[in-house]
């Protein structure tokens, strides 16, 4: 599911116009814009005038100039594209349908047509469109209710209130005292630290959960099956005790599904800090699906990069992120694509190379095969988890890239030595992961470049030595690059 | 002034008497859904315990007492709708619909013991016996049953388990928490009870949630758990009670847990409408609002609401969730905050457990006490007791101490009698380190 699925076609086009202008330094010719949008000039003119009306509310802070030739955008410094999205989303009928459904849990068609001031047929059409996107979450709007597995419904609302609806307003609308008390108690009971950023995430989740806790006849067949492997999990047990104790204070009946839902959430989203998660990792059953997938993927990564092992903290960090990825794949379906997937993949490819991206795809294939039967290129959850694998791989590559120290020790007259040395440094500098400098006998090097066979090898300690045949020759350069690659492995 | 009270259980009746006391001229009308008056919800336990010889003896009020105070009551009257704009109540009585206007309304409709999560728990073979007719049915069913499964290890469940084992029934008790009576006692205090339960043959199934109850073809009932199932002759529901208020109109604000929102004077969001007893949340031991459906709260809220009918004059002081009972050969009592529940308070809490002798005599019984108090100020916040001897009354001393915000040091200064046959060097309810029979300093 994408943010634009909450908007009408013409609104998506208008947003695209903004997007294109931002990507192109604020101005774009009509020709290029028409090409990109694939519409007629008249239709573009229409869109532009529609935009002009919409942005009136920004009081000159956003200005759009167009004269039939070029389109220009200027925005005040305190405004970003995000607020423009917000403007469109705030007027979205589909968004209002979801918000209404969350607040009231049930609606009648008349109630909703009156509230939104739209016809019955257009309400049905919008619900139908929404349902086509909710499908990947395994849920649907039917008979005036959100139907599907309870975990999926809450997960969808969570994504919705984090990324689609105005988060700030949502948080402000829900009084915080009891939630603060609940989170504080949770922190104490689970013996964890919840950072402010994670606290906000957890607050949104708990608002949603508490609003739905009393609903009768929740569906949880799938979750119950998934949880079979976690019945004895120590963290699940703690959550269960907490949930029972918390709700025993109110006239609310909870069954074990409530604890299962929180368990899945707390492991799939960054709520625990890495050190707290690590405590759990030491206790959890290593043969349970998520943990064993974490191990398998971690080993695959280490083998792929031919690392013997990762530094301790990096390995812990990797495991932390992998658990989030695998918990999501195991328990959840669907996602809201908050990042432009294709764009990011393209950019990542440029920066990290196609290898990383295709390796990430292999990892995803391995994990989805075991953890979840989720196929199809258009599944947003798979897309988002692929991005996470890529980010993790990039992170590991960066952290593991050891810098190779190269010393240049030319044996020749002072002036030549200086000049040719500088030229060599200049030539070698662009190679990734090397630091080149004039040889300093007090330092340790991985590679020493010289032009004469050293009289005493021991002078260079354990450094590898390459004797240049012809300074600055391409022959030497090829050899040096080969050695650097070898050293890098 | 016509005062209508919905519900003639403890809260409703207490309110009615108090209204009569304050307003001798008021017209007071009680509407009761059941066809009997004043049945004590735990009447069946009294019967099983041979404290009464007939269920009919389990009454806390009689028709005569109401008549004497000029309180009119309608039994078998089920309220269908409350219209707070016109101040009219619609109710059914003997299949006829009738209407009644009010000047002041007190909602004391109580609670019911029903699970919405356990499939099949509403069927008749799953016994609940808060009401007289239910108790009669349960009495017969239990008599003809050999093996009984109890769902819920709260006060009702554990008391039932005790009585049924005494009656030589085979008992399985299912509880979703790690230990029974978790609302009232900490885990370290409950161990002797659980030990006695196991010794008496109770099949304890802790950390198990019931998902459904299914009738078998041979009249047996199967309780399906998260892991496995139990098949027995009868099932008793001992789960938490909850209000059931389908007759409310939208103007009366409710909390998300379906309780009616009231202020400190027990006024609802609508003028002239009050709510009491099991229909509301109260200020609990941690001073935040919680749901504490206990009879003592029902009575006290009924009295306070009655006092505030004309103008707000008396605030409700809150509940310490004080309980006392005897199960599996032990007297247990609790008041205020438990250590486990201190999770929900901002205060830093410490606890201390001690075993002390009840008298100065050599053959004296002992009592194990647990004190929960503010680490900084030493203000007493909660207390728990367990003993072979009847120490139940002593919990009231500590409840009063908590309510009057006394510190441990204040308690030591309290003036109690000394008589070696009945007391110790210091009173039982004083936390004095050197009196410990077995000092057991808590790790906190």
Q: How far is CA A79 from the centre of its chain?
A: 24
Which residues in chain B are contacts of A185 at CB distance < 8 A? 343-344
Per-residue pLDDT band at A377 (split at 50, 70, 90): low
Kindly state whether residues B280 and B356 are assigned to the same domain: no
Kindly state whether residues B292 and B387 are assigned to the same domain: no
Q: What are phi and psi of B151, to 5 degrees?
A: -100, 115
Tell me: pLDDT of A446 over 50: yes
Kindly state whether residues B249 and B149 are assigned to the same domain: no
Nearest CA in chain A to B208: A256
Kindly state whether residues B431 and B380 are assigned to the same domain: yes
Does residue A128 sit at the B interface (CB-CB below 8 Å)?
no
Kindly state whether residues B33 and B98 are assigned to the same domain: yes
Tell me: pLDDT of A372 over 80: no
Q: What is the pLDDT of residue B106?
A: 98
Kindly state whether residues B246 and B103 are assigned to the same domain: yes
Q: Distance, in angstroms, between A258 CA and closest chain B CA?
A: 11
Kindly state whether residues A169 and A298 are assigned to the same domain: no
Kindly state whether residues A412 and A390 are assigned to the same domain: no
Kindly state whether residues A48 and A104 are assigned to the same domain: no
Tell me: pLDDT of B442 over 70: no
DSSP B293-321: --HHHHHHHHHHHHHTSSS----------
Identify any residues that bridge with B116 across adjacent strands, giving them in sequence order.
none
Per-residue pLDDT band at A378 (split at 50, 70, 90): low
CA pair distance B284, B259, nearest whole angstrom: 15
Residue B46 lies in a domain: no
Q: What is the mean pLDDT of residues B112-129?
A: 88
Which residues in chain B are contacts of A184 at CB distance < 8 A? 346
Kindly state whether residues A381 and A247 are assigned to the same domain: no
Kindly state whether residues A340 and A454 are assigned to the same domain: no
Kindly state whether residues B181 and B84 are assigned to the same domain: no
CATH number of the domain that residue A464 is part of: 3.40.50.2300
Q: What is the mean pLDDT of residues B402-421?
A: 91
Identify any residues that bridge with A184 across adjacent strands, giving them in sequence order.
none
Which residues in chain B are contacts of A150 at CB distance < 8 A? none
Structural domain of residue B389, as residue ranges?
Answer: 329-441
Asked if A237 lies within 8 A of B207 by C-beta distance, the reply is yes
Asked if B207 lies within 8 A of A254 by C-beta distance, the reply is no
Handedness of CA A89, A132, A134, A329 (dihedral sign): negative
> Which one of A213, A247, A250 would you mutate to disrupt binding with B, by most B Cβ within 10 Å of its Cβ?
A250
What confidence tens digit (pLDDT) does each residue in A21-78 have?
A: 888 888 889 899 898 888 888 999 999 999 988 888 887 888 888 888 889 988 888 8
What confidence tens digit (pLDDT) does each residue in A216-274 have?
A: 888 999 999 999 999 999 999 999 999 999 999 999 999 899 999 999 999 999 999 99
- For A1, A83, A156, A161, A297, the CA distances from A164, given in Å and listed in that order, are 11, 12, 11, 6, 32
Q: Which among A159, A113, A180 is positioned nearest to A3, based on CA atoms?
A: A159
Q: What is the mean pLDDT of residues B1-25?
A: 96
Asked if A214 lies within 8 A of B115 by C-beta distance, the reply is no
Q: What is the pLDDT of residue B436?
A: 61
Tell me: pLDDT of A408 over 50: yes
CB nearest to A255's CB, from B111, B117, B177: B117
Instruction: Please give the structure tokens belonging to residue A461.
Output: 């300690």
**Torsion-angle region of residue B201: left (phi > 0), alpha (psi -120 to 50) or beta?**
left
CA pair distance B1, B26, nearest whole angstrom: 5
Residue B52 lies in a domain: no
Kindly state whether residues A260 and A113 are assigned to the same domain: yes
Nearest CA in chain A to B258: A251
Q: What is the pLDDT of residue A412?
A: 82
Kindly state whether residues A219 and A336 are assigned to the same domain: no
> Which of B258, B275, B307 represents a domain boundary (last residue)?
B307
Q: Lowest-confidence range among B116-120, B127-131, B147-151?
A: B116-120
Kindly state whether residues A293 and A170 are assigned to the same domain: no
Residue A46 lies in a domain: yes
SS3 content of chain A, % helix, strand, coil (to 5): 65, 10, 25
Asked if A188 lies within 8 A of B343 by C-beta distance, the reply is yes
What confidence tens digit (pLDDT) does each residue in A193-216 have?
A: 999 989 999 999 999 999 999 888
Q: How far is CA A15 from the centre of its chain?
A: 22
> Which of B307, B337, B359 represents a domain boundary (last residue)?
B307
> Which of A80, A107, A130 represents a domain boundary (last residue)?
A80
Kindly state whether residues B373 and B353 are assigned to the same domain: yes
Asked if B281 lies within 8 A of A251 by C-beta distance, the reply is yes
Q: What is the pLDDT of residue B444?
A: 41
CB nearest to B117's CB, from A184, A241, A253: A253
Asked if B343 lies within 8 A of A214 by C-beta distance, the reply is no
Kindly state whether residues B103 and B9 are assigned to the same domain: yes
CB nearest to A216's CB, from B116, B177, B257: B116
Does residue B259 sit at the A interface (CB-CB below 8 Å)?
yes
Structural domain of residue A379, as residue ranges?
Answer: 286-400
Q: What is the mean pLDDT of residues A162-173?
A: 90
Q: Please work out, in degrees rounded to the nearest 5, the angle formed at the alpha carbon of residue B296 by the alpha carbons of B294 and B298.
A: 70
Kindly state whether residues B64 and B14 are assigned to the same domain: yes
The strands making up B104-107's β-sheet, listed across from edge to edge, are: B71-74, B27-31, B2-6, B104-107, B273-275
Residue B220 lies in a domain: yes
**Torsion-angle region of residue A253: left (phi > 0), alpha (psi -120 to 50) or beta?**
beta
DSSP A39-80: --HHHHHHHHHHHHHHGGGGTTSEEEEE-SSEEEEEE-TT--
Kindly state whether residues A69 and A102 are assigned to the same domain: no
Nearest CA in chain B to A258: B117
Residue A274 lies in a domain: no
Q: Lowest-confidence range among B112-121, B143-152, B213-222?
A: B112-121
- For B3, B15, B81, B260, the CA distances from B90, given in Å and listed in that order, are 15, 21, 5, 19
Residue A386 lies in a domain: yes
Kindly state whether residues A360 and A468 are assigned to the same domain: no
This prediction's pTM: 0.87
CATH number of the domain that residue B365 is part of: 3.30.390.30
Residue A432 lies in a domain: yes
Kindly state whether residues B149 and B221 are assigned to the same domain: yes
> Which of A200, A234, A264 represents a domain boundary (last residue)?
A264
- The rounded mean pLDDT for chain B is 93
Q: What percent of chain A has a predicted confidence (pLDDT) above 90?
A: 45
Question: From the CB of residue A466, how many other CB atoms can be counted at a distance below 10 Å?
Answer: 17
Residue A11 lies in a domain: yes
Q: What is the pLDDT of residue A373?
A: 66
CA pair distance B273, B256, nearest whole angstrom: 19
Burial class (CB in 10 A: 0-12, 13-18, 19+), A213: buried
Kindly state whether residues A223 and A99 are assigned to the same domain: yes
Residue B49 lies in a domain: no
Q: What is the mean pLDDT of residues B49-64?
A: 95
CATH number of the domain that residue A52 is part of: 1.10.10.10
Residue B172 lies in a domain: yes
CATH number of the domain that residue B194 is part of: 3.50.50.60
Asked if B242 lies within 8 A of A214 by C-beta distance, the reply is no
Let me know: does B357 contact B363? Beta carbons within 8 Å: no
Does residue B293 sit at the A interface (CB-CB below 8 Å)?
yes
Q: What is the mean pLDDT of residues B99-123?
A: 91
Tell me: pLDDT of A132 over 90: yes
Per the model's pLDDT, the better-predicted residue between B437 and B351 turns out to be B351
- The rounded mean pLDDT for chain A is 88
Q: What is the mean pLDDT of residues A110-134?
A: 92
Q: Which among B278, B239, B215, B221 is positioned nearest to B114, based on CA atoms?
A: B239
Residue A279 lies in a domain: no
Provide the number of structural domains found in chain B: 3
Q: What is the pLDDT of residue A275?
A: 95
DSSP B368-396: EEEEEEETTT-BEEEEEEEESS--HHHHH
Provide the number of structural domains found in chain A: 4
Tell me: pLDDT of A374 over 70: no
Per-residue pLDDT band at B190 (split at 50, 70, 90): very high
Q: What is the mean pLDDT of residues B11-39?
A: 96
- For A381, B77, B112, B273, B424, the CA distances from B31, given in Å and listed in that order, are 57, 6, 17, 15, 51
- For the ranges A91-95, A350-354, A460-464, the one whose mean pLDDT is highest: A91-95
CB nearest to B183's CB, from A240, A248, A250: A248
Using DSSP's 3-state secondary structure scheme, residue B92 falls into strand
Which residues in chain B are contacts of A231 at CB distance < 8 A? 226-227
Q: What percent of chain B has a predicted confidence (pLDDT) above 90?
A: 83
Does residue B287 sit at the A interface (CB-CB below 8 Å)?
no
Q: Distance, in angstroms, between B208 CA and closest chain A CA?
A: 9
Residue A272 lies in a domain: no
> Which of A400, A434, A456 represents a domain boundary (last residue)?
A400
Kindly state whether residues B193 and B217 are assigned to the same domain: yes
Q: What is the pLDDT of residue A396?
A: 86
Q: Token match 């209130």: residue? A: A161
Burial class (CB in 10 A: 0-12, 13-18, 19+), A455: exposed
Residue B118 lies in a domain: no
Kindly state whether residues A149 and A255 are assigned to the same domain: yes
Q: How many residues does chain A have?
A: 489
CB nearest to A250's CB, from B115, B207, B290: B290
Total CB pairs under 8 A between chain A and B: 75
Q: What is the pLDDT of residue B443?
A: 43
Per-residue pLDDT band at A395 (split at 50, 70, 90): confident
Residue B322 lies in a domain: no
Residue B313 lies in a domain: no
CA pair distance A151, A221, nearest whole angstrom: 10
Q: Please work out, in degrees rounded to the nearest 5, the angle formed at the alpha carbon of residue B145 by the alpha carbons of B144 and B149.
A: 150
Q: Distance, in angstroms, between B242 CA and closest chain A CA?
A: 5
Tell me: pLDDT of A276 over 80: yes
Does residue B291 sit at the A interface (CB-CB below 8 Å)?
yes
Strands A434-438 and A404-409, bridge-based pairing: parallel
CA pair distance A1, A381, nearest whole angstrom: 9
Q: What is the pLDDT of residue B406?
A: 95
> Which of B277, B307, B337 represents a domain boundary (last residue)?
B307
């Amino acid at each position: 599911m994408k943010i634009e699925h909450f908007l009408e076609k013409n609104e998506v086009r208008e947003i695209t116009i903004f997007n294109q202008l931002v990507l192109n330094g604020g101005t774009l010719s009509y020709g290029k814009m028409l090409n990109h949008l694939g519409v007629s000039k008249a239709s573009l003119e229409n869109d532009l005038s529609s935009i002009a009306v919409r942005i009136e509310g920004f009081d000159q802070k956003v200005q759009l100039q167009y004269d039939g030739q070029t389109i220009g955008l200027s925005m005040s410094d305190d405004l970003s594209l995000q607020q423009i999205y917000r403007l469109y989303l705030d007027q979205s009928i589909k968004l209002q349908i979801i918000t209404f459904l969350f607040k009231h849990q049930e609606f009648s068609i008349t109630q909703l047509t009156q509230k939104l001031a739209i016809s019955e047929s257009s309400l049905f059409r919008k619900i139908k469109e929404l349902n086509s996107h909710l499908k990947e979450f395994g849920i649907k709007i039917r008979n005036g209710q959100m139907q599907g597995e309870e975990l999926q419904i809450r997960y969808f609302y969570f994504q919705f209130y984090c990324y689609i609806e105005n988060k700030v307003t949502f948080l402000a609308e829900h009084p915080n005292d009891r939630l603060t008390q609940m989170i504080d108690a949770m922190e104490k009971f689970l013996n964890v630290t919840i950072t402010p950023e994670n606290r906000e995430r957890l607050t949104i989740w708990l608002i949603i959960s508490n609003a739905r806790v009393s609903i009768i006849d929740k569906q949880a067949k799938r979750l119950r099956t998934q949880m079979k492997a976690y019945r004895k999990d120590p963290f699940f047990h703690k959550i269960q005790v907490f949930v029972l104790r918390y709700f025993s204070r109110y006239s609310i009946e909870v069954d074990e599904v409530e604890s299962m839902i929180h368990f899945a959430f707390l492991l799939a989203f960054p709520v625990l800090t890495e050190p707290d998660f690590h405590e759990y990792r030491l206790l959890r059953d290593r043969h349970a699906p998520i943990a064993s997938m974490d191990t398998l993927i971690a080993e695959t990564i280490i083998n792929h990069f031919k690392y013997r092992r990762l530094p301790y903290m990096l390995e812990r960090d990797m495991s932390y992120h992998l658990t989030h990825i695998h918990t999501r794949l195991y328990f959840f379906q669907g996602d809201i694509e908050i990042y432009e997937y294709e764009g990011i993949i393209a950019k990542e490819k440029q920066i990290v190379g196609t290898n990383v991206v295709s390796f990430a795809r292999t990892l995803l294939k391995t994990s989805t095969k075991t953890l979840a039967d989720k196929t199809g290129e258009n599944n947003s959850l798979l897309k988002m988890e692929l991005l996470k694998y890529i980010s993790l791989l990039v992170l590991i590559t960066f952290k593991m890239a050891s810098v190779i120290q190269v010393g240049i020790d030319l044996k020749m007259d002072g002036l030549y030595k200086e000049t040719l040395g500088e030229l060599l440094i200049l030539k070698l500098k662009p190679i990734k992961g090397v630091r080149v400098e004039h040889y300093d006998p007090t330092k340790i090097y991985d590679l020493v470049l010289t032009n004469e066979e050293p009289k005493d090898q021991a002078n260079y300690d354990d450094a590898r030595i390459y004797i240049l045949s012809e300074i600055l020759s391409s022959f030497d350069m090829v050899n040096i690059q080969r050695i650097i690659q070898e050293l890098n492995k | 002034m016509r005062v209508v009270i919905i519900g003639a259980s403890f809260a409703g009746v207490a309110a009615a008497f108090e209204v009569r006391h304050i307003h001798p001229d008021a017209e007071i009308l009680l509407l009761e859904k059941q066809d009997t008056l004043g049945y004590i919800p735990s009447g069946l336990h009294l019967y099983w315990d041979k404290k009464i010889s007939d269920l009919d003896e389990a009454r806390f009020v009689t028709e005569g007492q109401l008549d004497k105070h000029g309180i009119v009551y309608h039994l078998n009257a089920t309220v269908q709708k409350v219209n707070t704009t016109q101040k009219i109540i619609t109710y059914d009585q003997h299949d006829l619909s009738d209407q009644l206007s009010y000047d002041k309304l007190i909602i004391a409709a109580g609670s019911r013991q029903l699970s919405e999560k356990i499939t099949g728990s509403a069927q008749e073979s799953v016994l609940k016996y808060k009401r007289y007719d239910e108790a009669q049915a349960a009495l017969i069913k239990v008599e003809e049953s050999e093996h009984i499964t109890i769902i819920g290890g709260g006060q009702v469940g554990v008391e039932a388990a005790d009585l049924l084992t005494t009656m030589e029934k085979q008992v399985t008790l299912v509880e979703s928490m790690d230990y029974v009576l978790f609302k009232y006692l900490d885990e370290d205090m409950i161990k002797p009870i659980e030990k006695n339960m196991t010794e008496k043959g109770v099949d304890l199934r802790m950390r198990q949630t019931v998902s459904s109850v299914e009738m078998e073809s041979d009249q047996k009932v199967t309780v399906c758990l998260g892991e496995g199932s139990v098949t027995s002759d009868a099932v008793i529901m001992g789960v938490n009670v909850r209000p059931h208020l389908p007759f409310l109109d939208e103007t009366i604000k409710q909390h998300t847990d379906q309780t009616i929102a009231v202020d400190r004077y027990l006024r609802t969001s609508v003028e002239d409408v009050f709510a009491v007893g099991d229909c509301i949340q109260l200020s609990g031991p941690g001073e935040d609002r919680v749901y504490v459906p206990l009879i003592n709260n029902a009575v006290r809220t009924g009295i306070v609401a009655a006092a505030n009918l004309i103008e707000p004059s008396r605030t409700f002081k809150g509940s310490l969730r004080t309980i006392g009972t005897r199960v599996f050969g032990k007297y247990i009592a609790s008041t205020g905050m438990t250590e486990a529940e201190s999770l929900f308070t901002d205060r830093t809490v410490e606890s201390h457990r001690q075993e002390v002798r009840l008298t100065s005599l050599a053959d004296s019984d002992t009592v194990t006490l647990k004190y929960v108090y503010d680490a900084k100020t030493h203000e007493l916040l909660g207390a728990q007791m367990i003993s072979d001897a009847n120490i139940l009354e002593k919990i009231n001393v500590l409840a009063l101490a908590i309510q009057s915000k006394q510190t441990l040091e204040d308690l030591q200064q309290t003036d109690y009698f000394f008589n070696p046959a009945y007391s110790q060097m210091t009173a039982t309810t004083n936390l004095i380190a050197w009196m410990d029979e077995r000092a057991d300093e808590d790790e906190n």
